Amino acid sequence: MDRTLELGTAMSRFAELAGLALGEEPIPACAEWTMHGLVAHLGTMHRWAAGTLLSGQRIAAPTPLVTEPLADWYAGTATALLSALQAISPDESIPNFTRNDETAEFWPRRQLHETIVHGVDAAQALGFDESSWAVDPAIAADGIDEVLQAFFPRLTARGMRPDVRSRIRLVATDLQQSWIISPGSEKDGPPVQLHSSLEADVLVSGSASDLYLGLWGRVGPERLQFDGADGQIMFDGPTTP
């Protein structure tokens, strides 16, 4: 997967949706946000990522200074990030918040999933049919990996450890692919991802898109099939910021 190419596609889609918005539409998954706040957030994350890439330093996210028209402002931040990615070799040493595998390659993946998830937010806010916001299975699978590898440890460090009580296998029914997450051996440590060939105690099944968006809280657990209570418990608790 060319994540930078996919990121550009997701950005274009988001800009289109931003251009359709009045700005005051509420975001279903983030009750405190409107479309204006959503666009400001995503554009600011693009600016932050571009600044990190070009400086090679850990920097704070800038304060949003949004100009009108909103969709044009967003498109400018998207262009800035894509330009920064083109200027940096993927294996160049660049910091990131996980403090693991700190190379530039981290950033197109993180910004791709940031844009995909908030694109779903925008489509839902504008009342678009589900067919317009379901996520490509390959992208969704990559996003599931990112959640388990990056955000489960990040949530744990922030005192919001995902509630993983047994070995849980996530099964993407449209890809014949699965992931196993385990409580791990450390009581206060993050859940750990195990090799998919190992045995699991409970199963959670669904399309890759529904598993991915379920972890991000953009679709409800009714979209998934649970074989064992611990899977439902995990999805009911914190899985992403």
pLDDT tens sequence across 2-29? 999 999 999 999 999 999 999 999 999 9
pLDDT-based confidence at 200, cuts 50/70/90? very high
Choosing from 132, 164, 182, the residue where a domain stops is 132
What's 148's domain CATH number? 3.30.1050.10
Indicate the pTM of the whole model. 0.96
For residues 172 and 63, state if they share a domain. Answer: no
pLDDT tens sequence across 58-79? 999 888 888 889 999 999 999 9
Q: Which residues span the domain enclosing 147?
A: 137-236
pLDDT-based confidence at 45, cuts 50/70/90? very high
Q: Are 152 and 162 in contact (CB under 8 A)?
A: yes
* Total tally of structural domains belonging to the chain: 2
For residues 84 and 180, state if they share a domain. Answer: no
For residues 178 and 219, state if they share a domain. Answer: yes
HSE at residue 186, side-chain half, CA atoms within 13 A, is 8
Max intra-chain CA distance, the chain: 54
Residue 156 located in a structural domain: yes
Residue 184 located in a structural domain: yes
Residue 208 located in a structural domain: yes
Q: CA–CA separation, 18 vs 50, rounded Å?
A: 21
For residues 89 and 59, state if they share a domain. Answer: yes
Percent of the chain topping pLDDT 90: 90
Six-digit token pair at 159?
Answer: 């005192």
